[in-house]
Structure 1
């Protein structure tokens, strides 16, 4: 449970997310940034509940890909899986560039402005974590315990320092947590869309369910705890940035706003302290993101909805080595291309919005899937009605509303990356449907018929904590 909770926290990458995304959030909603995070957290917990309830019925490395396909429609399930694959692959670029910049700035702040050099250094970090993920889940967890443990300790310690040292700025205002500073429904949707990116990544616990002991219970509870932890960190740091930095400082800091906050609170020490925390967070989330995308590709290869080679697993390490290699090559090509065009801030800003669109798709579909899977149980108790029905449905409606409400505010690159990336998935979907993949003729997922313990579904064994032997 503890290790899985750490993976959930690492998946949301608190240090990286605060640093890379705060400028984007402030640019979208200004002083309403704390409110955007607060009001997005309520429906997001509904999606976390949806994953937990679905995981109790069907522990699958594909997570939303499997659940949506077996409850709503296989086409929608494939698009949910594809949305995760595209968003995580894009994130490799959005994460590697800041990782390179942060590493260089530890030696010479001027070097951080060289996008090409930052891309090369970021690629080095990415290759290190690629090797860790390739060598098995046990090494991945041990590495994550070290990286995320130090990261969270630094972030919490700096919050204490911020309270002690202060730094001037404006006083806290309760209006920052209200609706008054949003520019209508469209403005609220823009802020909530960015806030969705903050919370993204905790669902790695579900992608690891076939490799987790007692996963039907562990994955869902660990995700809830992890999201609670990162929400507190996100809200506290967003309030601190709003109090201590001006909008100009936030915009100037761009994807490195935590360093600016550190310098404002504790010149000469605070900035470097937070650079280390963000660097650790970025490197740590490479690992969880790689796990998410490669386990999803493994499930899709196993179901023959993508090339079957993606479903191959290394005999010694018990990892989907073909999927890991493919993701590594694609991400490196995209990263080096991004290093040739635009600044780090521009790349990260466009990537955050594009990824958020794709997150809304597969989170929203998962929220609907749990209602369908538990439809026969919703009226059996208040608990089922709330946790398997009302709250997940609220989360689903919220994120899907954000998706459609935000379409009119997209820039050209954001629309191309976000919507174009989703559209490409239609090609393999119809190709493998025409080839007769059994995924497109699934058994219906019904929570009322689910039983505890090992089960065989679609010819694949799902033993909690024993999937490595079934690979």
Structure 2
């Protein structure tokens, strides 16, 4: 046996195709997973209504915990390049039960969101081509959304390289359209050709201390703003398929968050300055605000913004499948999920079973939610915030615990590997608490109805969490006995840090 083969076995190769994607591919996937054009269109009106001209400051504050958690992903991936990310890292540090629930949270986010993203894309495809009858027909929108889900799932099965090529094009298209809006709007403002209610932009818009009421403006704004950064970690879920896997995927996640910050703040600045608060306020939570102002700014090219929203939804629908399929693969290899999820397609070298299952279950959830009402579909999206905050916070804590013996070796370690991830985790835990309080009120849901006295979004999140607890207990006493014997509070081995290697994958090292 050659040294190379021995090394491959030692690091726990799960059968995924190595070196399939590079840094730029990971960056594109990280950006597309957040659906920047769609995310901006969906929440920017509400954030401006809440915070006024300080909306850019809200987006800046929202960025901070996400950046800190991205740092945690970077440092954890340096020593444990596992496609299960949070599952693997939390299992090592907080124990198998916490790791299992963290992995389950990632697995379920895709189920909740994929259908909604495809739905938005389907709606705007009909709108772009002037097919008003089909656009306004729920049946037609659902059918096209199902086609989108099927195609994106198929691409994920066929191979990571194809997925990456598709994502590069989509990332360039949607970020390019948003930057075009920023550039044209900025030139118009400089030339004095803004809208009739335009406002002179000011750097003070970035100062969170200019916000008059933190409890009524900053906190509600951050509750909306922080989650439009979600999704960048998809790049890290592909770490075992990436070149320079100990560095590039984590760096792609960090650069993704910084790129999103610049994009979000730039678009928001130009939107407020060009259109003024009154016009934006008329839209509130209507996703049409970006398109409406885009028509004033870009004229005949405004269709590019609509196209960017379509691309954004489709791209994110595809990339959101990746974390769940890779996490379930990692869990299966570790003995935390049925072995069927560990099966790799012999030709495409992807976790085909897990990928297809996520696509199918997401389709069932989407059709079922749509059958109940459109509002139930939107409430499913609201439930995401709880799951996201939960597993991000777990990851931040895991980073500090795993590196606990290294934190005092340098100021950089203390700040970026210990303090920053813990601050990010604490901030997200607080946002989780605030979200629970908010979503417990049925009046704060799209449906406006109560389930057992609480709002529908909180009920959905609790349903999936309880289902996870039931699944954990069932697996603990059936197929996962060995996995749940693992000890908690591991620390990163000193020889791994000194030698620049990686720890053995859970399940392949025992």
Residue of structure 2 in register with 1:263 after alignment = 295
Deviation at 1:12, TM superposition (A): 1.8
Residue of structure 2 in register with 1:284 after alignment = 315
Indicate yes or no: 2:448 matched with 1:425.
no
Indicate yes or no: 2:433 matched with 1:404.
yes
Indicate yes or no: 2:192 matched with 1:163.
no
From the superposition, tell whether residues 262 and 348 of structure 1 become closer, same or farther in structure 2 (CA, over 3 Å): farther
Q: Highest CA radius of gyration, 1 or 2?
A: 2
Aligned mates of 1:327, 1:42 — CA distance in 2: 31
Check whether the contact 2:115–2:149 (CA below 8 A) recurs between aligned residues: no
Check whether the contact 1:35–1:176 (CA below 8 A) recurs between aligned residues: yes
Aligned mates of 1:323, 1:409 — CA distance in 2: 34
From the superposition, tell whether residues 113 and 265 of structure 1 become closer, same or farther in structure 2 (CA, over 3 Å): farther
From the superposition, tell whether residues 442 and 124 of structure 1 become closer, same or farther in structure 2 (CA, over 3 Å): same
The C-alpha deviation readout for 1:164-186, integer Å capped at 9, x for no partner, is: 34333341352564245465436
Residue of structure 1 in register with 2:33 after alignment = 11
Q: How does 1:200-239 map to 2 (within 5 A)?
A: 200-239=230-269
SS in 1 for 2:284: helix
Indicate yes or no: 2:479 matched with 1:447.
no
Question: What are the ranges of 5 or more consecutive residues in structure 2 without an aligned counterpart?
Answer: 1-22, 189-193, 443-454
User: How many residues matched?
Assistant: 458
Query: 2:392 is matched with which residue: 346, 363, 370?
Result: 363
Indicate yes or no: 2:145 matched with 1:122.
yes
From the superposition, tell whether residues 76 and 458 of structure 1 become closer, same or farther in structure 2 (CA, over 3 Å): closer
TM-score (norm 1): 0.91
Residue of structure 2 in register with 1:460 after alignment = 508
SS in 1 for 2:287: helix
Root mean square deviation, CA, Å: 2.3
Query: 1:104 is matched with which residue: 100, 104, 126?
Result: 126
Deviant stretches of 4+, over 6 Å: none
Aligned mates of 1:372, 1:255 — CA distance in 2: 41
Indicate yes or no: 2:284 matched with 1:251.
yes
Check whether the contact 1:186–1:406 (CA below 8 A) recurs between aligned residues: no
Residue of structure 2 in register with 1:150 after alignment = 173
Query: 2:83 is matched with which residue: 58, 61, 65?
Result: 61
Aligned mates of 2:392, 2:337 — CA distance in 1: 21
Deviation at 1:461, TM superposition (A): 6.9
Aligned mates of 1:84, 1:385 — CA distance in 2: 28
Aligned mates of 2:429, 2:381 — CA distance in 1: 17
Q: How does 1:307-456 map to 2 (within 5 A)?
A: 307-343=338-374, 346=375, 349-410=378-439, 411=442, 412-435=455-478, 436-442=480-486, 445-449=490-494, 450=496, 451-453=499-501, 456=504
Aligned mates of 1:348, 1:157 — CA distance in 2: 32
Aligned mates of 1:308, 1:257 — CA distance in 2: 47
TM-score (norm 2): 0.84
Question: What are the ranges of 5 or more consecutive residues in structure 1 without an aligned counterpart?
Answer: 463-471
From the superposition, tell whether residues 89 and 177 of structure 1 become closer, same or farther in structure 2 (CA, over 3 Å): farther
Deviation at 1:117, TM superposition (A): 2.1
Aligned mates of 1:175, 1:231 — CA distance in 2: 14
Deviation at 1:28, TM superposition (A): 5.3
Aligned mates of 2:145, 2:251 — CA distance in 1: 33
Aligned mates of 1:124, 1:302 — CA distance in 2: 31
Check whether the contact 1:24–1:349 (CA below 8 A) recurs between aligned residues: no
Query: 2:57 is matched with which residue: 2, 17, 35?
Result: 35
User: Mean Cα displacement is larger for which, 43-52 or 10-19?
Assistant: 10-19
From the superposition, tell whether residues 119 and 240 of structure 1 become closer, same or farther in structure 2 (CA, over 3 Å): farther
Query: 1:47 is matched with which residue: 69, 86, 91?
Result: 69
SS in 2 for 1:215: coil
Deviation at 1:56, TM superposition (A): 0.9
The C-alpha deviation readout for 1:104-132, integer Å capped at 9, x for no partner, is: 10122634333332222122112111111
Check whether the contact 2:384–2:461 (CA below 8 A) recurs between aligned residues: yes
SS in 2 for 1:168: coil
Aligned mates of 2:179, 2:205 — CA distance in 1: 25
Deviation at 1:306, TM superposition (A): 2.5
